[in-house]
Amino acid sequence: MKRLEFSKFDDPKDALRLVDFDSVAPQAGEVRLRVEAAPINPADLLLIAGHYGYRPDLPATPGLEGVGRVAELGDRVSHLQHDDLVLLPLGHGSWAEEVTVDATHLFALPDEVDPLQLAMLAVNPLTATALLTDMAKLSAGDWVILNAANSAVGQYVLEIASRRNLRTVALVRRGGGLIMRLKERGATEVIVDHGQNVAADIQAVTGGVNTPLALDAIGGPATASLAGALSDGGQLINYGAMAQAPCDIPAQDLIFRGIDVRGFWLTRWIEQAGSERVHHLLDELVAMLREGRLRADVYGTYSLDHYKRAFKALRDSERAGKVLFTPGS
């Protein structure tokens, strides 16, 4: 068997290596899975570089999410069958041909759904639905503002919000064909953020009312733009740090307008929400995939042997879509 490993925290191109390992037979309550697909997420790159919310013991195999088929059942596993397709436990290390994991919270997925789409379900779509479900009280017709709207999470937010009859203002750094693509994904309005008067541009669209939620993936000055466009008492959720700078927000928005600024980390949300709540939302997302109401663009798939090509693809300035490993290919 093969898997990717890193023994130092560094740039992935310098830290990763392909290693051989022996299959691990499942113990009671465990299953051995053949990994079918596992995406490369920004959080994976942060983990390898040592900048994520935790540092694993080294050597470690990265890969926060993925899907696999049951290859072997341990004793006392009765809710799964051989060859069932399942989501890998979050953060287990999916960039491998096989993993052996606790089966307690695993559940069989529908075979008629594209495994590549299922492999991307547990991080970005779950983040998007949690942001829209648990961060603010929203009603049909409310406005949700988000920056980095062409990111994976951003596009899922647009799709899910549209299905819930929420209106969205999607902020992006460039226009052209991207504006139409985001409207096709469900955006109500798309604004190109040139860094000046963005809050005023947003308020011109929303009228400054019924705007209780803003989602910030960038930080820095971008945070202030979102805060200025929220209704009084609105929630501003920072879930990313693309600017690699502290979130800027005027004291006036905090003191006089009651803007509430919070951080969101999926791992902590899962711990607090509990397995029943997480499973319920995942069931909803699987149903949306089955019905064709949710999707992510795929740029390319790569075997583990070609991991250097995969990371080269990530750096393609024209890339539109996710890069995934298909370890069995």
The residue extents of the domains of the chain are 2-120+296-325, 124-267
* Structure-token pair, residue 58: 């080294």
pLDDT of residue 263: 96
Question: For 209-267, what is each residue's pLDDT tens digit?
Answer: 899 999 999 999 999 999 999 999 999 999 998 888 999 999 999 999 999 999 999 99
pLDDT of residue 176: 77
* Long-range Cβ pairs for the range 79-85 (8 Å, 24+): 79/103, 79/106, 79/107, 80/31, 80/106, 80/107, 80/108, 81/108, 84/108, 84/109, 85/36, 85/109, 85/110, 85/111, 85/115, 85/118
Task: Classify 2-120+296-325 by CATH class.
Answer: alpha beta
Question: For 24-48, what is each residue's pLDDT tens digit?
Answer: 999 999 999 999 999 999 999 999 9
Strand partners, 325: 38, 302
Per-residue confidence band for 321, with pLDDT thresholds at 50, 70 and 90: confident
Q: Is 80 exceeded by the pLDDT of residue 317?
A: no
Per-residue confidence band for 328, with pLDDT thresholds at 50, 70 and 90: confident
Distance CA 63, CA 71 (A): 20
Per-residue confidence band for 126, with pLDDT thresholds at 50, 70 and 90: very high
pLDDT of residue 208: 79
Per-residue confidence band for 107, with pLDDT thresholds at 50, 70 and 90: very high
Angle (CA) 159 160 166, round 5°: 100
Which listed residue (52, 239, 302, 307) is catalytic?
Answer: 52
pLDDT of residue 164: 94
Question: For 171-204, what is each residue's pLDDT tens digit?
Answer: 998 877 889 999 999 999 999 988 778 889 999 9
Question: For 260-286, what is each residue's pLDDT tens digit?
Answer: 999 999 999 999 998 899 999 999 999
pLDDT of residue 177: 81
Query: pTM (2 decimals)?
Result: 0.91
Percentage of the chain beyond pLDDT 70 is 100
pLDDT of residue 195: 74
For residues 31 and 51, the answer to whether their CB atoms sit within 8 Å is no
Domain range 124-267, CATH architecture: 3-Layer(aba) Sandwich (3.40)
Distance CA 190, CA 145 (A): 10
The residue assigned the tokens 């990371």 is 311
Mapped onto helix, strand or coil, the DSSP state of residue 46 is helix
| Residue 52 annotated as catalytic | yes
